């Protein structure tokens, strides 16, 4: 796995041909571009979809010129994973046809902090870039059009082939996420658990089972899945723990807190 990782990490070395901040995905295929997050604010970014996305593919050694590919505009915050498969780079992410939840007249990301509802007409969709570095080609596929965010995978598959992604999903019309889901990236099939109205979860974290040899094509993928949950009725949070392969059965353990926790994410499980 050389090229896809480099594409994630090369943004400090490479200048895009049109280096604007119009779309985060113009500069990289993965969210590590947010290492430059101090300049990413709503006031400094404009959404100009007619310019499309620029995708850079850079060899890990950085010795040859990057491959610059253009594709249809798509906004992203977070990626599932990226890996090489038979000469192609597969890069999976949550993409938005329009980031109206973050940019524009009345984005919900800002409005909610003032106690108002805001715009969020375009859902986060599970999307895939298929890049052929030899042919200098890229195509974008829609894996599932559900309203998703917070993609994660079993970290043992990071930068390698994998099949199952873990995500949070909204209820219809909502912006925040009340369902935790697993998605089969081959078939698009999902299995979800709905915490219910007024209860909101965040990024799910997969914890592998000790002693299990995980295979990238395994549709079962046994393990634990954890997500932080805020219940707006008692205004308290809890940690919900699921068996990842049986999400729809509901949590097998709940760790209640005596207080609320602001939405948090990008956690990590370590058995050490
Ligand atoms: Fe993030």
* Blockwise average pLDDT, block size 10, the chain, 272 residues: 33 39 34 40 83 92 91 96 96 97 91 91 97 96 96 97 98 96 94 98 97 94 97 97 97 97 89 80
pLDDT score recorded for residue 40: 56
What's the full length of the chain, in residues? 272
pLDDT score recorded for residue 238: 97
**DSSP state, residue 110:** H
CA atoms of 91 and 72, how far apart (whole Å): 15
The pairing of beta strand 177-184 with beta strand 190-194:
antiparallel
Helix (H, G, I), strand (E, B) or coil at 176: coil
CA atoms of 254 and 272, how far apart (whole Å): 22
What residue has token string 């992410």? 93
pLDDT score recorded for residue 186: 92
Residue 35 CA to ligand 1 centre (angstroms): 10
pLDDT score recorded for residue 35: 36
Residue 44 CA to ligand 1 centre (angstroms): 18
Residue 241 CA to ligand 1 centre (angstroms): 22
pTM of the model: 0.84
pLDDT score recorded for residue 44: 78
Closest CA relative to residue 131, chosen from 91, 103, 167: 91
Residue 22 CA to ligand 1 centre (angstroms): 17
What residue has token string 């590590």? 32
């Amino acid at each position: 796995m050389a090229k896809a990782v480099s594409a994630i990490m090369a943004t400090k070395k490479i200048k895009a041909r049109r280096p604007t901040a119009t779309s985060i995905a113009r500069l990289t295929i993965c969210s590590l571009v947010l290492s430059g997050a101090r300049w990413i604010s709503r006031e400094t970014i404009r959404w100009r979809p007619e310019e499309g996305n620029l995708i850079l593919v850079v060899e890990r050694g950085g010795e040859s010129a990057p491959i610059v590919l253009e594709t249809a505009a798509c906004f992203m915050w977070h990626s599932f994973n990226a890996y090489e498969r038979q000469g192609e780079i597969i890069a999976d992410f949550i993409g938005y046809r329009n980031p109206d939840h973050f940019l524009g007249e009345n984005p919900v990301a800002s409005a909610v902090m003032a106690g108002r509802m805001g715009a969020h007409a375009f859902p986060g969709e599970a999307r895939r870039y298929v890049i052929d570095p030899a042919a200098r080609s890229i195509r974008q596929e829609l894996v599932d059009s559900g309203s998703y965010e917070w993609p994660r995978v079993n970290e043992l598959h990071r930068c390698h082939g994998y099949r199952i992604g873990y995500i949070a999903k909204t209820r219809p019309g909502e912006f925040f996420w009340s369902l935790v889901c697993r998605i089969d990236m081959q078939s698009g099939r999902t299995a979800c658990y709905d915490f219910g109205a007024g209860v909101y979860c965040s990024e799910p974290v997969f914890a592998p089972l000790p002693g299990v040899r995980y295979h990238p094509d395994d549709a079962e993928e046994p393990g634990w899945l954890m997500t932080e949950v805020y219940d707006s009725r008692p205004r308290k949070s809890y940690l919900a723990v699921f068996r990842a392969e049986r999400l729809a059965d509901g949590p097998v353990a709940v760790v209640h807190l005596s207080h609320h926790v602001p939405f948090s994410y990008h956690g990590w499980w370590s058995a050490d």
